[in-house]
Structure 1
Amino acid sequence: MGVIQWIINLGASVFLPILLFIFGLILRIKPGKAFKAGLTVGIGFIGLNLVINLLSSQLGPATKLMIHNYGLHLQSIDVGWPAASAIAYGTALGVMAIPIGVIVNVVLLLFGLTRTLDVDLWNYWHVAFAGSIIYLLTNNMWLGIFSMVVVTMFTYFFADLSAPKVQEYYGLDGISFPHGLSAPGYVFALPFKWLFDHIPGFNKVHVNAETVQKHLGVFGDMTVMGAIIGLVIGLLAHMSVAKVLQLAVNMAAVMMLMPRMVSLLMEGLTPISEAANKMVQKHFPGKKLYIGMDSALAIGQQSVLSASLILIPITLFLAVILPGNKVLPFVDLATLPYFFALFAAAFDGDILKTVIAGAADIVLSLYISTWFAPVITKLAKAASFNMKGNASISVLSDGGVWTNFIYIMTGEKFQWIGMTVLFVIALLLLFWLKMRNARKDAMAAKAKHSRK
């Protein structure tokens, strides 16, 4: 377990390049090329984290001022995903998430029940988070381990289900997102897509980054939009003129720099992805393999960023007006692009529809994170996490994800019976998706053959 903890402490920006380098050598990429590819991915993650830290450092003071100015005093403070990941990996069960996730991934690949080869091992903290809470609530380690298996299976189902749309919309050939926060968002967005498609008139509306720029000219440019959103947030926070202007320029910087950092990630991933697909086609003709990656690859897309920034003040407003909510959104406001990365894909980049469905998701997340607050506070204390004087903490991201609510409620209330039912459901869903993909592949091959 000491080795696993050491790996965790390296962080994604160090561990992932090492893993991709080894993976590249296995795929018979030249050592120099494999090394550069892995290093480029690491640099991309560092750049992306710098931009996210910029976003956090700018939103933090603005959020505090809004809290002060409007008298927003809620019982539980949102400590964000960095704290949640530290808490998740800091428990007795949390460090087991990576080996459990790898074993489940290998078994599912061998049986053809997933197409995702997950190289984003650091993000197994999402699995550790749910499993650690179930262990805390039930005091049953074996149930906690079984629950992590179940959570991992559902994560790969969501990743495989959304992969074709991810590849089509983001242009990420051969990539999927087995990400515990982002992947369930795709399924949440699908009923809203059906609803929007069946509302006369509204189903003709499509407000994406291109249409906004076309109709608004320079004011529709995403960098300029970032500056405008920064101005609005600064004015709502009653900041000084100088601070408002600084916030506006920094939000514009985020809008410009985020996509460029993501392009670095893609530059490093491209040779790995291409080599993996060539290997699969050579040894397993007709089979498809997805490289499982962090949804950070999608958060720099213009519609994702625009919708997420618009949803920041909306999230704070909802936190205040929703009866029964006790969570004050704070750190995870900068994480909203991860929430809605696959919403934008489901709605083909429609910013308006992403904002509407995103607001509904935030409502649910606030209530779930309110329910989780006492449990997360207890888990943080068990993991010796520094709560910085807060009597109660929660997490808007993983502490507010609807799938985590299902896993944890089932594990607490029904324990082995409930988890076994979820295991069977996950298995059936994976079988169903395997059969559906096989039919689609057969039809595509037949159509390709008929064109020749």
Structure 2
Amino acid sequence: MSYILGFFDILSNLGASVMMPIIIFVIALCLGTGFGKALKSGLTMGVAFIGINLVINLLGNTIGPAAQQMVENLNLNLNILDVGWPTAAQIAFSTKVGAIIIPVCLLVNVVMLIFNLTQTADIDIWNFWQLAFTGSLVAIVTSSVALGLLAAVCEFVIALVLADLTADKIAKVTKMDGISFPHTMTVVLASISFVVDKIIDKIPGLNKIDINAKKMEEKLGVLGDPLIIGFVIGLVIGILAYGIKAYDKYLLIAITLGATLVLIPAMAKYFGESLTPISERAQVIVNKKFKNRGKIYIGMDAAVALGNSTTIATALILTPIIILLALIVPHNQFLPFADLGSAPYIMALIVPMCNENAFRSLLIAISMMAIGVLLSTAIAPIFTQAALSASYQLPEGFSLVSCISNASTPLNFILVKVSEILRSYGAAIFFAVTSLVCAIANGIRIRKQVKKTKEVSEN
């Protein structure tokens, strides 16, 4: 067992840019795509991750200081520091729950696939840190690693079910059939977005507003081009941060943000190229050797869905708004900072679930982030305790830390609070029953879906 855990520890330490190409290469070989195709798929996945990360880092390095300057301009005095998702991931994988989360969740996924309780084969192993994050917080609250692990598994099962339910809807926008997103934070936001989108459909006036990058480009011509939109948004953010006289700073921000709206969709295309052979081969095998299975989805990082200009444009607008929310939301003590660059991931699945309607997407995202800063505030003491237990050194001047990406996720907060209220056996029963109910209900849905598809094809 120690060798197995050591292997997965080495794998997770490689980071997504190295780990995912290896996984894609091995899976492609196992599915019989041939060595050449398998190697190209793996390397293309590496290109996609490195390209996306380069652009996202560029975005963060540009908009981060500008956002921080806006914080200073607004004289925000908040005592909980946003340390960002990379730090949260490092802390999560450094805990006892994080040490065993990968093999445990892979086993759960295999069992669910065998018993037809999910259609998602989750290969996004790097983002299991989000599950370890939740499990680590629960372990802190309950003083039980076993309960923490059970909470992480419960979150994983829910994420797989939500990934199944949202896959086809997202594929209509991303044009990547056979891909799902069990990426916890984004799939939870996607599911909430779907419900809120349906509610907005019933509200007169609001239901008539439809703004997206494609329509803007059609109506405005060159002014609606994503490059121009990014440039204008960058100008506004730069001027708000540095003032009208600092043209050297805000012009650089404007050009950089315009470039991101061009580069991110270009990089995202490589995800589709790397996954298409695997997705097609997996579906052929399923159709040939298994019955009552329906589609099989490849579970991927939300970065795969970033190739949409509306997603990036709304993310750029959302970034300064998160700062504003930190100022105006009552009882908030959380200072958004290191995770401001993750705004594209926040928007990644909200936009497809809202049919690329930028107005609705932003409305939902702003509402969720208003709640999110409060959740990040509430979870900070437990997160800080987990950080200290993983030997994390707190930044000077701050006694509490949190992050906007995962600490603000409603599902994460609910699981932690349930464990805090029910403790011991009560929490264990809740996590176990919730996991079983979600898995069985999803299995019933899959079988009904397959039966309906067969009836339609026969007729």
Q: Please, what TM-score do these two structures have when normalized by structure 1?
A: 0.96
Residue 270, structure 1, aligned to residue 279, structure 2: no
- The answer as to whether partners of 1:79 and 1:331 remain within 8 angstroms in 2 is yes
Mapping for residues 33-52 of structure 1, pairs under 5 Å:
33-52=37-56
Counterpart pick for 1:363 among 338, 363, 370: 370
Quote the Cα distance in structure 1 between the aligned partners of 2:219 and 2:171. Answer: 28
Counterpart pick for 2:321 among 307, 314, 326: 314
* CA deviation vs aligned residue, 1:44-70 (integer Å, no higher than 9, x gap): 101110001001100121012111112
How far did 1:342 drift?
A: 1.7
- The answer as to whether partners of 1:76 and 1:326 remain within 8 angstroms in 2 is yes
Residue 435, structure 1, aligned to residue 453, structure 2: no
Quote the Cα distance in structure 2 between the aligned partners of 1:191 and 1:419. Answer: 29
Residue 84, structure 1, aligned to residue 84, structure 2: no
Quote the Cα distance in structure 2 between the aligned partners of 1:313 and 1:89. Answer: 30
How far did 1:430 drift?
A: 2.6
Counterpart pick for 1:59 among 56, 63, 70: 63
> Which segment is superposed worse, 209-218 or 129-138?
209-218
Give the letter aligned to residue 272 of structure 1.
I
> Which segment is superposed worse, 259-268 or 206-215?
206-215
Quote the Cα distance in structure 2 between the aligned partners of 1:69 and 1:161. Answer: 43
How far did 1:215 drift?
A: 2.5
How far did 1:84 drift?
A: 0.6
How far did 1:285 drift?
A: 4.5
- The answer as to whether partners of 1:100 and 1:148 remain within 8 angstroms in 2 is no
Equivalent residue, structure 1, for 2:289: 283
Mapping for residues 201-212 of structure 1, pairs under 5 Å:
201-212=205-216
Counterpart pick for 1:125 among 129, 139, 142: 129
| Residue aligned with 2:9, SS | helix
- The answer as to whether partners of 1:157 and 1:426 remain within 8 angstroms in 2 is no
Residue 397, structure 1, aligned to residue 386, structure 2: no
Equivalent residue, structure 2, for 1:303: 310
| Residue aligned with 2:298, SS | strand
> Which segment is superposed worse, 406-415 or 364-373?
406-415
- The answer as to whether partners of 2:16 and 2:49 remain within 8 angstroms in 1 is yes
Equivalent residue, structure 2, for 1:421: 430
Q: Please, what is the CA RMSD of the aligned residues?
A: 1.4
Counterpart pick for 2:416 among 405, 408, 413: 408
> Which segment is superposed worse, 366-375 or 204-213?
204-213
Counterpart pick for 2:165 among 149, 161, 164: 161
Counting aligned pairs with the same residue, the percent is: 37
User: Unmatched 5+ residue regions in structure 2?
Assistant: none
Quote the Cα distance in structure 1 between the aligned partners of 2:129 and 2:79. Answer: 26
Equivalent residue, structure 1, for 2:193: 189
Counterpart pick for 1:372 among 379, 399, 404: 379
How far did 1:177 drift?
A: 0.4
| Residue aligned with 1:323, SS | coil
Equivalent residue, structure 1, for 2:344: 337
Quote the Cα distance in structure 2 between the aligned partners of 1:426 and 1:324. Answer: 33
How far did 1:159 drift?
A: 0.9
| Residue aligned with 1:393, SS | strand
How far did 1:396 drift?
A: 0.6
Equivalent residue, structure 1, for 2:10: 6
Quote the Cα distance in structure 2 between the aligned partners of 1:338 and 1:420. Answer: 33
How far did 1:3 drift?
A: 2.4
Quote the Cα distance in structure 2 between the aligned partners of 1:88 and 1:296. Answer: 20
How far did 1:286 drift?
A: 5.4
How far did 1:365 drift?
A: 0.6
Quote the Cα distance in structure 1 between the aligned partners of 2:219 and 2:394. Answer: 47
How far did 1:434 drift?
A: 2.6
How far did 1:244 drift?
A: 0.2
Residue 259, structure 1, aligned to residue 265, structure 2: yes
* CA deviation vs aligned residue, 1:383-423 (integer Å, no higher than 9, x gap): 11233323221111111100000111111221231342243
| Pair 142,286 (structure 1): closer, same or farther in 2 beyond 3 Å | closer
Give the letter aligned to residue 205 of structure 1.
I
- The answer as to whether partners of 2:342 and 2:405 remain within 8 angstroms in 1 is yes
Quote the Cα distance in structure 2 between the aligned partners of 1:433 and 1:228. Answer: 45
Residue 235, structure 1, aligned to residue 239, structure 2: yes
Mapping for residues 214-225 of structure 1, pairs under 5 Å:
214-225=218-229
- The answer as to whether partners of 1:17 and 1:42 remain within 8 angstroms in 2 is yes
Quote the Cα distance in structure 1 between the aligned partners of 2:442 and 2:236. Answer: 44
Give the letter aligned to residue 348 of structure 2.
A
Quote the Cα distance in structure 1 between the aligned partners of 2:347 and 2:427. Answer: 29
Counterpart pick for 1:15 among 2, 16, 19: 19
- The answer as to whether partners of 1:410 and 1:419 remain within 8 angstroms in 2 is no
Quote the Cα distance in structure 1 between the aligned partners of 2:27 and 2:276. Answer: 13
| Residue aligned with 1:237, SS | helix
Quote the Cα distance in structure 2 between the aligned partners of 1:47 and 1:387. Answer: 31
Quote the Cα distance in structure 2 between the aligned partners of 1:387 and 1:315. Answer: 23
Quote the Cα distance in structure 1 between the aligned partners of 2:63 and 2:77. Answer: 18
- The answer as to whether partners of 2:154 and 2:434 remain within 8 angstroms in 1 is no
> Which segment is superposed worse, 417-426 or 173-182?
417-426
Counterpart pick for 1:292 among 294, 299, 306: 299
| Pair 423,219 (structure 1): closer, same or farther in 2 beyond 3 Å | farther
Quote the Cα distance in structure 2 between the aligned partners of 1:221 and 1:22. Answer: 40
